[in-house]
Amino acid sequence: MGACQALSCIVLLSLFVSSSASILNDVCKSLGASNDDIGYDYCIRFFRAFSASATADKRGLVIIAAKIIRAEAANTRNRINALKALETNRKIARRLSDCHALYTSALHLLDAAAKAVKSSHLQDAEANLNAALENPDVCEEGFRELGVSSPVADEDYEFTKGCSIALSIASTL
């Protein structure tokens, strides 16, 4: 390969990388402008966990978001198990069991959403993301009904924000 060809390849590669990074920037700017809870900086930090985000297209960003929130859901489910093991109040333990089931469901829904995006079944992806998005609210409602603070409120909030990011991007595909 000659020097001119190598230089051409480098220029094309840098254009690809900058245009892909521009996709992430554009997506985060749009999310920040349309969603008070998710600002531009939060969106960028959210995706920073995966270096592939910098070069991903919108479909890739939805899949990456699903992976990120899936990991969060698995961690939350583990934390719920630990809380449940220590809980002496049966009613609260039952609510924790409900939340555990909801997060287990969310794991399956997020897997299905990522597969649906990969196979271009975008309505299915949105339906699965919408369903996953509802789970933290149901978990929180159980604790509100008991009149106690949710021990996983912070995790529920972060999960909801992550699902909102994935769903917002998926709706633009």
Q: What is the mean pLDDT of residues 124-142?
A: 97
Q: What is the mean pLDDT of residues 37-42?
A: 90
Residue 125, C-beta contacts closer than 8 angstroms, at least 6 positions apart: 62, 113, 114, 116, 117, 170
Q: What is the mean pLDDT of residues 29-54?
A: 89
Q: What is the pTM of this model?
A: 0.84
Tell whether the model's pLDDT for residue 116 goes beyond 90.
Answer: yes
Q: What is the mean pLDDT of residues 49-76?
A: 95
DSSP state of 120: T
pLDDT for position 9: 40
Instruction: Return the ∠ at Cα 29 (arms to 55 and 32), rounded to 5°.
Output: 125
pLDDT for position 1: 52
pLDDT for position 5: 53
* Lowest mean pLDDT, pick from 14-23, 29-38, 68-77, 87-96: 14-23
pLDDT for position 44: 94
Task: Please report which confidence band the pLDDT of residue 35 belongs to, taking 50, 70 and 90 as the band edges.
Answer: confident
Residues 143 and 127: their CA atoms lie apart, in Å, by: 26
Residues above pLDDT 70, as percent of the chain: 88
Considering the four listed CATH numbers 1.20.140.40, 3.40.1180.10, 3.40.50.10490, 3.40.640.10, the one that applies to the domain covering 59-170 is 1.20.140.40
DSSP string across 142-168? HHHHHTS--TTHHHHHHHHHHHHHHHH
Task: Please report which confidence band the pLDDT of residue 31 belongs to, taking 50, 70 and 90 as the band edges.
Answer: confident
Query: Each residue of 12-38: b (16+ CB within 10 Å) or e?
Result: eeeeeeeebeebbeebbeebbeeeeeb
Task: Please report which confidence band the pLDDT of residue 8 belongs to, taking 50, 70 and 90 as the band edges.
Answer: very low
Residues 11 and 43: their CA atoms lie apart, in Å, by: 28
